[in-house]
């Protein structure tokens, strides 16, 4: 009987040929370039697994739904996305962004890491399993969207539409996207922080005015925003003052604390890479702040004159962008009501306008879920190691599986930490790509 690894070794040339073809088709969701061609290729490969494949139209790029029958009634959904980010200026790349280039143990190309390489590793993992074992142990569904790089705008509507019929039998969801730990060890993630982003605009005139003419007469919109900040945030105690903001914030369990203690933490290395000196002394405190604490961040302020020298003006408008990362069971609508109530006077008298820009709920799978052990065992069997991250500090739309489908969701990233996604020279290491194939194989074996 042929083995997993020998089959992969014998077919590497074909796998890399397919990878190159997939990268060459582009699939840029911002422009639509190559979307249809990418869908056609994926349809062909999924049908080769014995899948029933359907292309679901959305208000944006289409979504692919593939269904494969297995031996048991259990149904596992795999999520990925086929679209890529605009590669930017070609001259900034060392290689052609849409020609897969293998160099120094890495595959370079737009989408190599995010997320075509990871998506292809999922499909090839199933292909290898079928060739070695003849069939699949349980039902498999692929949901592959085409606008993740544009914020997955239509994903919630698509999942909601399918939740009562074609996705109603799903038992758990596995998301393959992102980067594994910077130490090189693969991870299982049980959740992610959510995000609420908003913009506050203060306007006090129709144009900038000379400060000698209207000083003490015209109000400065920057000072209005600074006053608002003092209402929203306690700088001395580093505490958000928005009513009900902390409702739903939960402390980590003993199990989650133990998992965090096992995660690598190199304070010196992180400081050198980021230039940040305010790092916690212990890895536990570091990961607690990243995974179990919400944030209040000013991501940008735009107002007035900031070029060389002075310009004696009172700016007529100031814009501040605020982002909060949410954890646990924090509720976006509850926080929005708190913001609106807190700033009600300024909104009513016309001093400011508030626009909500990003609304993604947090997602969390219970730390005692019955499948955690099997998933970690699969990762270890494929790669030799496996860490558990209770929560991913970043934000992804995993709530569509937990809140709409009402199933546990797990994230298993296949790409290396330095994949340079959304930047020139995006890549996935050769090892990460083939480890991803092996993880996909072992997930079928262990689940």
User: Residue 199 sits in a domain of what CATH number?
Assistant: 3.30.70.360
Q: For residue 48, what pLDDT is reported?
A: 96
At 219 the three-state DSSP class reads coil
Q: For residue 151, what pLDDT is reported?
A: 87
- Out of 360, 388, 406, a domain closes at 360
Per-residue pLDDT for 274 more than 90? no
pTM of the predicted model as reported, rounded to 2 decimal places: 0.91
Residue 71 token pair: 């031996």
Q: For residue 396, what pLDDT is reported?
A: 85
Task: HSE, CB side, 13 Å, CA atoms: give it for residue 231.
Answer: 16
Rounded mean pLDDT, 97-126: 97
CATH of residue 25's domain is 3.40.630.10
Per-residue pLDDT for 219 more than 90? yes
Per-residue pLDDT for 43 more than 80? yes
Per-residue pLDDT for 158 more than 90? yes
Angle, CA of 119, 120 and 121, to the nearest 5°? 90
Q: Does 279 reside within a domain? A: no
C-alpha distances out from residue 264 to 63, 183, 351, Å: 37, 7, 48
Residues 381 and 331 occupy one common structural domain:
no
Kindly give the residue spans of alpha helices, DSSP state H, lying in 88-173. 116-133, 155-162
Residues 188 and 198 occupy one common structural domain:
no
Average pLDDT, the chain: 96
- Out of 337, 360, 383, a domain closes at 360
Per-residue pLDDT for 394 more than 90? no
Q: Does 151 reside within a domain? A: yes
- What element of type H or E holds 240? strand 239-240
The total number of structural domains in the chain stands at 2
Q: Does 227 reside within a domain? A: yes
Residues 198 and 170 occupy one common structural domain:
no
Residues 116 and 213 occupy one common structural domain:
no
Rounded mean pLDDT, 311-318: 96
- Best CA proximity match to 240, nearest among 127, 163, 116, 327: 327
Residues 186 and 303 occupy one common structural domain:
no
Q: For residue 126, what pLDDT is reported?
A: 98
Residue 396 token pair: 């992804």
Residues 331 and 412 occupy one common structural domain:
no
Q: For residue 273, what pLDDT is reported?
A: 83
Q: Does 300 reside within a domain? A: yes
Q: Which domain holds residue 182?
A: 4-192+363-446
Per-residue pLDDT for 1 more than 80? no
Per-residue pLDDT for 84 more than 90? yes
Residues 105 and 204 occupy one common structural domain:
no
Rounded mean pLDDT, 122-128: 98
Rounded mean pLDDT, 331-336: 98
Residues 180 and 79 occupy one common structural domain:
yes
Q: Which residue has the tokens 């919400």?
A: 294
Sheet holding 317-326, edge to edge: 297-303, 317-326, 194-203, 352-360
Q: Does 268 reside within a domain? A: no
CA dihedral angle for residue 121, residue 127, residue 131, residue 134, rounded to 10 degrees: 130
8-state DSSP, 228: H
Residue 134 token pair: 């003849």
Strand runs labelled E in 129-251: 139-145, 172-175, 187-189, 191-192, 194-203, 209-210, 233-234, 239-240
Q: Which residues contact 157 (CB under 8 A, 6 or more apart)?
A: 58, 59
Rounded mean pLDDT, 182-205: 95
Residues 105 and 226 occupy one common structural domain:
no
pLDDT band at 376 (very low <50, low <70, confident <90, very high): very high
Q: Does 230 reside within a domain? A: yes
Q: For residue 391, what pLDDT is reported?
A: 94
- Percent of the chain at pLDDT exceeding 90: 96
pLDDT band at 182 (very low <50, low <70, confident <90, very high): confident
Q: Does 20 reside within a domain? A: yes
Length of the chain, in residues: 447
| C-alpha distance across the termini of the chain, in Å | 22
**Please, are residues 85 and 411 in contact by the beta-carbon 8 Å criterion?**
no
Residue 91 token pair: 């001259």
Per-residue pLDDT for 372 more than 80? yes
pLDDT band at 17 (very low <50, low <70, confident <90, very high): very high
Q: Does 331 reside within a domain? A: yes
Per-residue pLDDT for 128 more than 80? yes
C-alpha distances out from residue 290 to 115, 260, 315, 336, Å: 24, 11, 37, 22
Residues 181 and 217 occupy one common structural domain:
no
- Out of 360, 395, 417, a domain closes at 360
CA distance 38 to 315: 48
Question: How many CB atoms within 10 Å of residue 265?
Answer: 18
Rounded mean pLDDT, 172-187: 94
Per-residue pLDDT for 240 more than 90? yes
Residues 116 and 216 occupy one common structural domain:
no
Q: For residue 260, what pLDDT is reported?
A: 97
Residues 178 and 45 occupy one common structural domain:
yes
Which region, left, alpha or beta, applies to residue 109 given φ > 0 means left and ψ of -120 to 50 means alpha? left
Per-residue pLDDT for 64 more than 80? yes
């Amino acid at each position: 009987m042929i083995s997993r690894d020998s089959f992969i070794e014998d077919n590497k040339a074909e796998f890399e040929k397919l990878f190159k073809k997939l990268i060459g088709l582009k699939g840029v969701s911002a422009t639509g370039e190559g979307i249809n061609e990418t869908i056609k290729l994926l349809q062909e490969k999924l049908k080769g697994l014995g899948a029933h494949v359907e292309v679901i139209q959305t208000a944006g790029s289409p979504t692919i739904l593939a269904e494969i029958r297995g031996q048991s009634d259990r149904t596992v959904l795999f999520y990925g996305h086929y679209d890529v980010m605009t590669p930017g200026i070609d001259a900034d790349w060392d290689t052609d962004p849409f020609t897969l280039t293998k160099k120094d143990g890495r595959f370079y190309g737009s989408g190599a890491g995010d997320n075509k390489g990871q998506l292809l590793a999922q499909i090839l993992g199933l292909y290898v399993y079928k060739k070695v074992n003849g069939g699949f142990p349980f039902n498999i569904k692929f949901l592959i969207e085409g606008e993740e790089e544009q914020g997955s705008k239509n994903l919630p509507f698509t999942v909601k539409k399918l939740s009562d019929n074609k996705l109603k039998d799903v038992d758990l969801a596995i998301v393959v996207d992102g980067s594994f730990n910077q130490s090189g060890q693969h991870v299982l993630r049980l959740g992610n922080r959510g995000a609420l982003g908003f913009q506050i605009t203060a306007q006090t005139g129709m144009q900038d005015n000379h400060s000698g003419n209207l000083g003490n007469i015209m109000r400065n919109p920057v000072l209005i925003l600074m006053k608002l900040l003092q209402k929203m945030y306690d700088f001395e105690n580093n505490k958000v003052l928005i009513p009900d903001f902390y409702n739903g914030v939960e402390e980590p369990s003993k199990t989650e604390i133990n998992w965090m203690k096992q995660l690598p933490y190199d304070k010196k290395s992180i400081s050198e890479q980021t230039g940040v000196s305010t790092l916690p002394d212990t890895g536990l405190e570091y990961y607690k702040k990243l995974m179990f604490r919400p944030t209040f961040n000013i991501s940008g302020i735009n107002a007035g004159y900031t070029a060389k020298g002075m310009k004696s003006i009172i700016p007529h408008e100031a814009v501040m962008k605020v982002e909060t990362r949410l954890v646990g069971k924090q509720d976006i609508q509850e926080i929005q009501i708190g913001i609106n109530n807190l700033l009600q006077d300024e909104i009513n008298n016309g001093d400011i306008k508030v626009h909500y820009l990003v609304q993604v709920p947090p997602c969390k799978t219970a730390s005692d879920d019955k499948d955690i052990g099997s998933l970690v065992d699969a990762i270890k069997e494929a790669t030799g190691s496996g860490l558990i991250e209770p929560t991913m500090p970043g934000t992804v739309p995993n709530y569509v599986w937990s809140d709409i489908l009402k199933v546990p969701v797990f994230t298993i990233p296949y790409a290396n930490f330095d994949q340079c996604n959304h930047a020139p020279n995006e890549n996935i290491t050769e090892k990460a790509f083939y480890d991803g194939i092996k993880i996909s194989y072992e997930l079928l074996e262990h689940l």
